[in-house]
């Protein structure tokens, strides 16, 4: 077997494991109760705003922080 065949076989063999682990990780994410009843539909779906617009910790933490609720 050539090196390419070995790598292809290994990739095909590991693909189901990677998919199972990825699916398990997605379902394992816990939800955090929200302090107020707020629908993100208008902001995210309609206005196409990214989470970082309101939540400054989206790239730094597992959970988004609470946005500022008072204007400057």
**pTM for this prediction:** 0.38
Quote the pLDDT of residue 1.
72
In order of 8, 9, 22, 35, the CA distances from 44 in angstroms are: 40, 41, 25, 19
The confidence score (pLDDT) of residue 71 equals: 56
Task: Please tell me whether residue 71 adopts helix, strand or coil conformation.
Answer: coil
Residues of the chain with pLDDT under 50: none
Check residue 56 and give its pLDDT. 79
What is the rounded radius of gyration, in angstroms, for the C-alpha atoms of the chain? 20
């Amino acid at each position: 077997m050539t090196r390419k065949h070995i790598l292809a076989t290994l990739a095909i063999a590991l693909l189901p494991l990677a998919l199972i682990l990825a699916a398990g990780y997605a379902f394992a994410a816990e939800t955090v109760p929200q302090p107020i009843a707020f629908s993100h539909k208008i902001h995210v779906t309609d206005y196409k705003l990214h989470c970082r617009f309101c939540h400054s910790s989206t790239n730094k933490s597992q959970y988004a922080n609470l946005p500022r609720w008072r204007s400057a």
